[in-house]
Amino acid sequence: MSARPVKRSLTLRGHRTSVSLEDEFWTAFRQIAAEKSLPINVLAAEIDAARAPDIGLASAIRVFVLGHYRARAE
């Protein structure tokens, strides 16, 4: 298990950005994108558009991943 976040690059609506995510969250995020048949940058852009301005993108992705797996467990 990787306790330290790793900086990853994404392109959101034509602009490069980076997020720092732990390996486990990054892997889960990529799996969810694959399940939805979406490029990871498209899914990241959707999450980015839906998040509150005071919430960081990495945090929004973590909450999205958690919510995805919680919904599957119900």
HEC string of the chain?
CCCCCEEEEEEECCEEEEEEECHHHHHHHHHHHHHCCCCHHHHHHHHHHHCCCCCCHHHHHHHHHHHHHHHHHC
* Structure confidence at residue 21 as a pLDDT band (50, 70, 90): very high
Q: Is the pLDDT of residue 2 over 80?
A: no
pLDDT at 1 (0 to 100): 57
Model confidence pLDDT, tens digit, residues 28-69: 999 999 999 999 999 999 999 999 999 999 999 999 999 999
Q: Is the pLDDT of residue 74 over 90?
A: no
Give the number of domains in the chain: 1
pTM reported for the whole predicted model: 0.92
Domain presence at residue 10: no
pLDDT at 72 (0 to 100): 84
Domain presence at residue 44: yes
Domain presence at residue 47: yes
Domain residues for 35? 18-73
